[in-house]
Amino acid sequence: MKKEYDLVVVGAGPAGIMAALTAKKYNDKLRIALVDSGKSIGQKLAITGGGRCNFTNNRPIDEFFDMVVNNNKFLYSSFYGFTNEDLKDFIRGLGLDYSIESGNDQKVYIKSGRAQDLIRVLDEKIRASKIDLYLDSKVNDIGLGAEIKTVKFNNYILNSNKLLFATGGLSFPKTGSDGSVMRLLQDKGYDIVTPRPGLVPIEVKEGWSKDLAGISLKDVLVWTPIGKRKKELIGDLIFTHKGLGGPAILKISSYINNRPFDRLIYIDFLPGMTRDQIYKLAIKDRKKTILANLKGSLPNNFTKLLIQEVGRKTGLYLLGQTTANMTRDTIDLVISSIKQTSFTVKSLASIEIATITAGGISHKQINPTNMESKLHPGIYFSGEMIDVDALTGGFNLQIAFSTGYLAGRSLAEKF
């Protein structure tokens, strides 16, 4: 069946939904179709923030750029054109409220704690805006003609004046984002920057890390060399049966996904204390062991395994010794392992379970001021399918909504 539209949007995730709604807002005469392979809109949105939807962050928008791992300058017009404040207003306009997480992270969530509430009101708004929604409709062919653009799925051929792609990355393919449209676009001349897993746990080579599985530590300092510099950040860490996980590790993984193998990840388990301070604590009672003296500063089972490992590496018997029977040099070996232990990366977790896909359509082929293709006028992009990715904290959804807004507004104003 053939149908004619002014705009077809492929992908009903946050980027595509925002683009379609914004195009309609700026030009309500437009005939718009929104096409998605899923049985409902926003399948990935539904699982964000553990189902609570951390849709943005409460920091000033200027600080968002530091949270973007790749190609942050590309997002200048998007972030300033539709800020986190605009997104919060948009959510309120849909009849929902939001809550801001206390503490440093400043994550902003849907107040009810249910991402499904957002999906429900977005679905209602799409239908009320008279946007034609095609679900269960996997696009399997595209035409990017100068006058007429085409998408094909099931028995449909949709012709349109403008075409917007917002089909996401490759992670969590069950939510619909499987990279199929990226491959179609590659055949049409688009450069795809190799998709890589972002915000994932790290598998390490050191066997003794398995003994630590299940132990979690608060606010450790993690760093890794990147060229001549180093990337460092503070956050929580959890040891898994394969290596390292937790917020600090997920973040660092995004900086090493270009070439993860054999990279060294360094950890300072007590960044709030100097070596001297730890030393004083370690010898507080010279009749006791280091383990007993350090009780309370780190989980005891962790300190025990760390000391055991130092003992294994050096051949010294450390665990049962009172500090009176230890030299400063020997105690320093333990302190060094607290202040700097390294792990060697074996691999990153697979892209299927990654929170975000790094890589995608090269940002160099997209005009950052309006999201239009530099190769084919009338073709637009938004969201995670572009080669931009950010850290956890609501920044990736803000990218999806901001780029969707900019694309929708820019293209509507061209009619």
Ligand X SMILES: Cc1cc2nc3c(=O)[nH]c(=O)nc-3n(C[C@H](O)[C@H](O)[C@H](O)COP(=O)(O)OP(=O)(O)OC[C@H]3O[C@@H](n4cnc5c(N)ncnc54)[C@H](O)[C@@H]3O)c2cc1C
- Tell me which residues touch ligand X (CB under 6 A): 10-16, 35-38, 43-45, 47-49, 54, 138-139, 166-168, 171-172, 176-178, 180-181, 355-356, 383-384, 394-397, 400
Distance CA 175, CA 51 (A): 13
Q: Is 359 left (phi over 0), alpha (psi -120 to 50) or beta?
A: left
CB of 280 to ligand X, least distance (A): 42
Kindly state the tokens that stand for 158.
């949709």
Instruction: Tell me the closest approach of the beta carbon of residue 226 to ligand X, in angstroms.
Output: 23
Angle in degrees, CA 396, 397, 401, rounded to 5:
120
Q: Could you tell me how far CA 273 lies from the centroid of its own chain?
A: 30
Q: At a CB cut-off of 8 Å and minimum separation 6, what does 38 contact?
A: 12, 135, 136, 175, 176
**Least Å distance between CB 208 and ligand X?**
30
Strand partners, 237: 217
What stretches of 94-128 show up as alpha helix (H) in DSSP? 115-128
In the complex with ligand X, the residue whose CB is nearer, 166 or 217, is: 166
Q: Which two tokens stand for residue 342?
A: 């390294």
| b/e map 288-308, b = 16+ CB within 10 Å | bbbbebbeebbbeebbbbbbe
**Minimum Å distance from CB 325 to ligand X?**
51
Closest contact distance (angstroms) between CB of 215 and ligand X is 24
Query: Burial of 110 by CB count in 10 Å (0-12 exposed, 13-18 middle, 19+ buried)?
Result: buried
**Do 16 and 164 meet the contact criterion of CB atoms below 8 Å apart?**
yes
Nearer of residues 378 and 383 to ligand X, judged by Cβ: 383
| Nearer of residues 260 and 394 to ligand X, judged by Cβ | 394
Q: Which is nearer to ligand X, 50 or 272 (CB)?
A: 50
Query: Torsion angle of alpha carbons 67, 68, 74, 77, nearest 10°?
Result: -40
Least separation in angstroms between residue 251's CB and ligand X is 13
When the beta carbons of 131 and 334 are compared against ligand X, the nearer one is 131
CB of 335 to ligand X, least distance (A): 38
285 versus 352: smaller Cβ distance to ligand X: 352
| SS3 at position 354 | coil
Provide the β-strand partners of residue 267.
Answer: 222, 341
Nearer to ligand X, 171 or 303 (CB): 171
CB of 349 to ligand X, least distance (A): 12
Query: For ligand X, which is the closer residue by CB, 341 or 355?
Result: 355
